[in-house]
Structure 1
Amino acid sequence: MRIIRFIQKETQKPLLAAVTDQNEIYTLPVSNVLDIVEHAKQNKSKVIDLINNIIKDSLPYPDSLEELELLTPIEAPEVWACGVTYQKSKEARNYEATNGKLDATTFYDKVYDAERPELFLKSTKERTIAPNKDLYLRSDSNWQIPEPELGLVLTGDGEIFGYTVGNDLSCRDIEGENPLYLPQAKIWARSCSLGPAILLTDAVEDPYKFEIICRIYRDEELLFEGRATTGQLHRRLDELVSFLKRDNIVFPGTVLLTGTCIVPPNEFTLADGDKIEIEISGIGTLVNVVKTQVAKVAQ
């Protein structure tokens, strides 16, 4: 069972809906999935069972998924991210920090093996972009890539109730120049996207068996394709969440991105008009086009 948000054509208002395994869409009587999660908690039931009970006598929505104008599946007040959680990520960060001297040992090696993971604030609700909307390239960077990541959707107690797809645009040159520049390498207007859906944890047997695929197209030609699985994660998901919760406020609907294991070749950088597709099995495919013109930051 997946959860989506979309714009109803007739009213131009956002609707929340459940999507079955058969891709049938059923609108829900609330605007925020957190309301259903909380109701299920109070009744000591599974979220998926509650939703099935809500939609059991309903008719499916007439439009298909492809016809809908999707929104982010949840308006996450904050999006946090984890770094260096995969071997591939550690290698890429080392390459940036040492000008290609792969045999050098850096602080990225240390954080990869340390008890404490790397955590940083990636985005806020106002900065996070919906599927099929444009992302912006940073104007003062010459080496930018997408980082395809599994996102954990959290309650205010830090409980994982769903999974989504995240596109974490990153500036490899800025981060490599100095680790103190990490916020600038990660946070700018329209540098993060979430969607297309939330896959409920009740519908997932093993979150370490997700397959992640990233494809980048330029002028409709496939330039890059990479694949990984969450089984390659160096840390456990609950471990990452535990550090986010530590002496911190976790707002309901917060999303925690869990790091990337897919990195394009070192000579690659995104260009105006490139299309990024990030697919995670069972969740769907998040599609965004990147643009160089930052004429305005409003969505």
Structure 2
Amino acid sequence: MRIIRYVNEKSVPVLAALTKEGLIYPLPQKDFLELAQQAQDQNTTLLHFVESAIDALDPIPQPLEKLSLLVPIEAPEVWACGVTYERSRDARNFESADGKIGSTTFYDKVYDAERPEIFLKSTATRTVGPNDKVNLRNDSNWQIPEPELGLVINGQGEILGYTIGNDMSCRDIEGENPLYLPQAKIWRNSCSIGPAILLSEEVKDPYQFEITCRIYRENKKVVEGSANTRQLKRTFDELVSYLLKDNQIFDGTVLLTGTCIVPPNEFTLADGDRIEIEISDIGVLQNTVRLANTVVPNL
């Protein structure tokens, strides 16, 4: 069972359940957090709560492809993990000024360290959903998407579901100096999540997700790569446990778990590119790329 949000014919956001058969059932709750809270209040699981709710409902006639999808959850914060895959470590070493062949860098150290790398990636106002535009920074010349599995968690760190995330990154800014990481990761529309939340109870083995990233330029596929969450260096419980250490985490927080798909080193995103990130059983997160508006609004 997946949970989505879409805009109906009256321009009203609707929460809905999406079954394995592709049937879509509008739900009365205003958002995913209300759905999770009501399931908890009734001392039942999210999956059982949703299955019981749709028994008395009729599906809508429109297929998923015809809906105007929104972010499945307006996450108050999106956090992200770095260097959780060997491929990510190697890419960070390449772009780093210290990344000389045969040398040991801080990326090697964090890959092998007990403590993982975790950083604040985005907030609700900086995060976009399916088919929205993600921005390129104006002060970077080497930018890529980072396709990642996202964990939707509550304030206690319980994994409620899985979604897809795009952690847009500036390789040149991060490679110049690791202290520039916030600028390499956080700007307007630098993160997207969606198109759905796959309820955790539906997932027998979260280390078997197939992840694929495709990038199109002028309708021609210029990049494609695949990976599997079994390649992760760390467990999801381990990553969540470090996020919670002496930290206040809000219900509906999304934790991106790192990337194992990195475009060729000579590649950088361009205005007008289209990014597709597909994760098995969750769906396809699609976004187009645009150059960020340089006009700063009056404060």
Secondary structure, aligned partner of 2:160: strand
Find the counterpart in structure 1 of residue 118 from structure 2.
119
Secondary structure, aligned partner of 1:212: strand
CA drift of 1:47 comes to: 0.9
d(CA) in 2 for partners of 1:226 and 1:141? 23
Secondary structure, aligned partner of 1:185: helix
**TM-score (norm. length: structure 1):** 0.97
Consecutive unaligned residues in structure 1, runs of 5 or more: none
Between 35-44 and 212-221, report the one with greater CA deviation. Answer: 35-44
Between 54-63 and 263-272, report the one with greater CA deviation. Answer: 54-63
CA deviation profile, 1:103-126 (whole Å, cap 9, x unmatched) = 221000000011110010000000
d(CA) in 1 for partners of 2:35 and 2:29? 8
Letter matched to residue 162 of structure 2: Y
Find the counterpart in structure 2 of residue 15 from structure 1.
14
d(CA) in 2 for partners of 1:256 and 1:165? 10
Kindly indicate whether residue 73 of structure 2 is the aligned counterpart of residue 74 of structure 1.
Answer: yes
Find the counterpart in structure 2 of residue 209 from structure 1.
208
Secondary structure, aligned partner of 2:80: strand
CA drift of 1:57 comes to: 2.1
Consecutive unaligned residues in structure 2, runs of 5 or more: none
d(CA) in 2 for partners of 1:40 and 1:76? 19
Kindly indicate whether residue 36 of structure 2 is the aligned counterpart of residue 37 of structure 1.
Answer: yes
Identity of aligned residues (%): 62
CA drift of 1:39 comes to: 2.3
Letter matched to residue 13 of structure 1: V
d(CA) in 1 for partners of 2:95 and 2:294? 30
CA drift of 1:42 comes to: 3.1
Find the counterpart in structure 1 of residue 153 from structure 2.
154
Alignment RMSD (CA, Å): 1.3
d(CA) in 2 for partners of 1:297 and 1:63? 40
Superposed, 1:111-190 pairs within 5 Å as 111-190=110-189
CA deviation profile, 1:255-299 (whole Å, cap 9, x unmatched) = 00000000001000001111000000000000001011426799x
Find the counterpart in structure 2 of residue 3 from structure 1.
3
CA drift of 1:41 comes to: 2.3
d(CA) in 1 for partners of 2:101 and 2:39? 50
Secondary structure, aligned partner of 2:94: helix
CA drift of 1:101 comes to: 2.3
CA drift of 1:100 comes to: 5.7
Letter matched to residue 290 of structure 1: V
Superposed, 1:229-268 pairs within 5 Å as 229-268=228-267
Find the counterpart in structure 2 of residue 226 from structure 1.
225
Secondary structure, aligned partner of 1:72: coil
CA deviation profile, 1:197-239 (whole Å, cap 9, x unmatched) = 0000011100000000000000111101000000000000010
Task: Please tell me whether the aligned partners of residues 98 and 105 of structure 2 are also in contact (alpha carbons under 8 angstroms).
Answer: no
Task: Please tell me whether the aligned partners of residues 150 and 257 of structure 2 are also in contact (alpha carbons under 8 angstroms).
Answer: yes
CA deviation profile, 1:148-175 (whole Å, cap 9, x unmatched) = 0000001121110000000111000000
Indicate how the Cα distance of structure 1 residues 281 and 183 shifts in structure 2: closer, same or farther if over 3 A, else same. same
Q: Give the count of matched residue pairs.
A: 297
d(CA) in 2 for partners of 1:58 and 1:279? 29
Between 169-178 and 93-102, report the one with greater CA deviation. Answer: 93-102
**TM-score (norm. length: structure 2):** 0.97
d(CA) in 1 for partners of 2:174 and 2:252? 28
Letter matched to residue 7 of structure 2: I
CA drift of 1:37 comes to: 1.6
d(CA) in 1 for partners of 2:161 and 2:223? 28
Between 77-86 and 52-61, report the one with greater CA deviation. Answer: 52-61
CA drift of 1:130 comes to: 1.1
Find the counterpart in structure 1 of residue 89 from structure 2.
90
Between 32-41 and 237-246, report the one with greater CA deviation. Answer: 32-41
Letter matched to residue 4 of structure 1: I
Task: Please tell me whether the aligned partners of residues 81 and 255 of structure 2 are also in contact (alpha carbons under 8 angstroms).
Answer: yes
d(CA) in 2 for partners of 1:102 and 1:39? 54
d(CA) in 2 for partners of 1:99 and 1:234? 23
Letter matched to residue 3 of structure 1: I
Indicate how the Cα distance of structure 1 residues 25 and 296 shifts in structure 2: closer, same or farther if over 3 A, else same. farther
Task: Please tell me whether the aligned partners of residues 189 and 297 of structure 1 are also in contact (alpha carbons under 8 angstroms).
Answer: no
d(CA) in 1 for partners of 2:137 and 2:109? 29
Secondary structure, aligned partner of 1:12: coil
d(CA) in 2 for partners of 1:213 and 1:282? 12
Structure 1 residue ranges, 4+ long, deviating more than 6 angstroms after superposition: none
Kindly indicate whether residue 280 of structure 2 is the aligned counterpart of residue 284 of structure 1.
Answer: no
